[in-house]
């Protein structure tokens, strides 16, 4: 590993972790204001303009609260649990591409932390580890409600992992790759190349070729992130607060953060697999128009700060900036969808949840694979 690769990796990891940490308080604010909007309330509006600094105040409160471990808890696992929940939440984003390639100083840089051959299998396997933290939390708390919450959570996650994994098989069959960058690239192909006029420019996004798979995957992701309508592990009206009942101060905040980080990753995955990732039809035309602006900005920057060199390839930078913007906008939409659904749908009952997972989604996802196979054989997709 040479010097450049090391700096590149460190920069990308640092960027992802920084952005993800910034998204959490923003998202908490959006969720609280969004819920208020839907329920005809005001929501937080005292701290800062539009209550924007409310999350900051909350963080300060979490940090300064007394950090205590209840007497009846298993201390080792109690302290370990929030970290075990948080770690996979951070790790899963590593394989998601958030932009195309840029050439910097003669090196091609992928805007993706790790380009793994196993692709989203990595996401599925790391994502399936989050349940351990929840189990640890519930078990170490030595509390009936906590244990019930973590039992519910593990049962739910195992049930929906199956249909989630199977719903992705259709995507693999169509794009014949596990690598997310390759899948994004293949989604830029036209859906119907021979169609007249503007119709020929519709991209071959996963949503258009796998609508059933998309619905199954979307619902399973909601169950995996323990969000409404599948938030039975928390179920505050039944089991108080579920697995994080005995946790206070920053430890509780870590569970909270993990939930939002999982939402970010889930939204990024939905974007990448079903909505063309960072690509968008006509993006290259916009990038051409944007290039002079980037070149000019780069010149101004280097004239103000002599140690900054001017960009050798402003066209690539313009494209990459637009790609990251498109990616962020799509992810933002799915994050909003999480909030939207949460404040629209009521919670499932437990037997309904299990019935839906095993008797509806599992057969449906297997049928989806069969139908996809037949359609590919017939040459329709």
Query: Given the rule CB under 8 A, which residues bind another protein?
Result: 1, 5, 77, 116-119, 121-122, 124-126, 128-129, 131-132, 135-136, 138-139, 147, 150-151, 154-155, 157-158, 161, 178-179
Q: How far is the CB of 246 from another protein (least distance, A)?
A: 16
Q: How far is the CB of 361 from another protein (least distance, A)?
A: 17
C-beta of residue 38 within 8 angstroms of C-beta of residue 343: yes
Give 102 or 113: the residue with its C-beta nearer to another protein.
113
Give 138 or 203: the residue with its C-beta nearer to another protein.
138
Q: How far is the CB of 210 from another protein (least distance, A)?
A: 20
Q: With helix as H, strand as E and coil as C, how does 303-354 read?
A: HHCCCCCCCCCHHHHHHHHHHHHHHHHHHHHHHHHHHHHHCCCCCCCHHHHH
Please report, for residues 130, 132, 163, 189, 227, the alpha-carbon distance to residue 154 in angstroms, rounded to integers and kept in the order given. 10, 8, 15, 39, 14
**Residues forming a β-bridge with 101:** 110
Give 132 or 333: the residue with its C-beta nearer to another protein.
132
Q: How far is the CB of 271 from another protein (least distance, A)?
A: 22
Please report, for residues 89, 97, 109, the alpha-carbon distance to residue 12 in angstroms, rounded to integers and kept in the order given. 17, 11, 10
Q: How far is the CB of 107 from another protein (least distance, A)?
A: 13
CA–CA gap between residue 209 and residue 170 (Å, rounded): 9
Question: In degrees rounded to 5, what are phi and psi of residue 109?
Answer: -110, 120
Which burial class, exposed, middle or buried, applies to 165 when counting CB atoms under 10 A from its CB (0-12, 13-18, 19+)? Answer: middle
Q: How far is the CB of 275 from another protein (least distance, A)?
A: 24
Please provide the distance, in angstroms rounded to a whole number, between the alpha carbons at the two ends of the chain: 41
* The residue to which tokens 């002079």 are assigned: 292
CA–CA gap between residue 122 and residue 290 (Å, rounded): 35
Give 178 or 338: the residue with its C-beta nearer to another protein.
178
Give 89 or 157: the residue with its C-beta nearer to another protein.
157
Please report, for residues 6, 32, 98, 275, the alpha-carbon distance to residue 294 in angstroms, rounded to integers and kept in the order given. 27, 36, 19, 27
* Structure tokens belonging to residue 110: 């992928």
Q: How far is the CB of 178 from another protein (least distance, A)?
A: 6
Give 54 or 156: the residue with its C-beta nearer to another protein.
156
Q: How far is the CB of 131 from another protein (least distance, A)?
A: 6
Give 224 or 323: the residue with its C-beta nearer to another protein.
224
Give 136 or 209: the residue with its C-beta nearer to another protein.
136
To 10 degrees, the CA torsion angle through 9, 83, 165, 239? Answer: -150
């Amino acid at each position: 590993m040479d010097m450049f690769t090391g700096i590149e990796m460190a920069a990308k990891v640092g960027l992802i972790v920084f952005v993800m940490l910034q998204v959490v308080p923003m998202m908490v604010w959006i969720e609280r204001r969004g819920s208020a909007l839907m329920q005809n309330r005001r929501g937080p509006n005292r701290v800062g303009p539009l209550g924007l600094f409310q999350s900051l105040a909350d963080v300060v409160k979490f940090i300064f609260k007394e950090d205590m471990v209840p007497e009846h808890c298993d201390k080792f696992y109690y302290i370990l649990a929030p970290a075990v929940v948080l770690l996979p939440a951070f790790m899963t984003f590593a394989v998601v591409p958030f932009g195309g390639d840029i050439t910097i100083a003669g090196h091609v840089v992928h805007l993706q932390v790790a380009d793994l051959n196993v692709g989203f299998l990595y996401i599925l396997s790391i994502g399936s580890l989050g349940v351990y933290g929840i189990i640890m939390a519930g078990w170490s708390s030595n509390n009936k409600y906590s244990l019930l919450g973590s039992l519910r959570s593990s049962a739910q996650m195992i049930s929906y992992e199956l249909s989630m994994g199977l719903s992705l098989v259709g995507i693999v069959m169509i794009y014949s790759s596990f690598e997310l960058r390759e899948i994004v690239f293949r989604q830029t192909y036209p859906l119907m190349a021979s169609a007249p006029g503007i119709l020929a420019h519709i991209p071959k996004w996963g949503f258009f070729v796998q609508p059933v798979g998309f619905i199954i995957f979307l619902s399973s992701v909601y169950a995996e992130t323990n969000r409404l309508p599948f938030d039975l592990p928390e179920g505050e009206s039944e089991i108080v607060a579920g697995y994080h009942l005995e946790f206070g101060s920053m430890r509780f905040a870590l569970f909270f953060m993990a939930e939002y980080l999982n939402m970010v990753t889930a939204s990024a995955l939905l974007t990448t697999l079903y909505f063309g990732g960072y690509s968008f039809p006509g993006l290259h035309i916009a990038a051409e128009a944007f290039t002079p602006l980037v070149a000019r900005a780069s010149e101004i920057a280097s004239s103000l700060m002599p140690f900054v060199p001017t960009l050798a390839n402003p066209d690539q930078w313009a494209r990459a900036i637009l790609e990251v913007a498109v990616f962020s906008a799509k992810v933002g939409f799915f994050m909003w969808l999480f909030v939207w659904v949460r404040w629209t749908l009521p919670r499932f009952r437990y037997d309904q949840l299990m019935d839906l997972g095993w008797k509806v989604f599992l057969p449906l996802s297997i049928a989806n694979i069969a139908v996809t196979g037949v359609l590919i054989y017939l040459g329709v997709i």
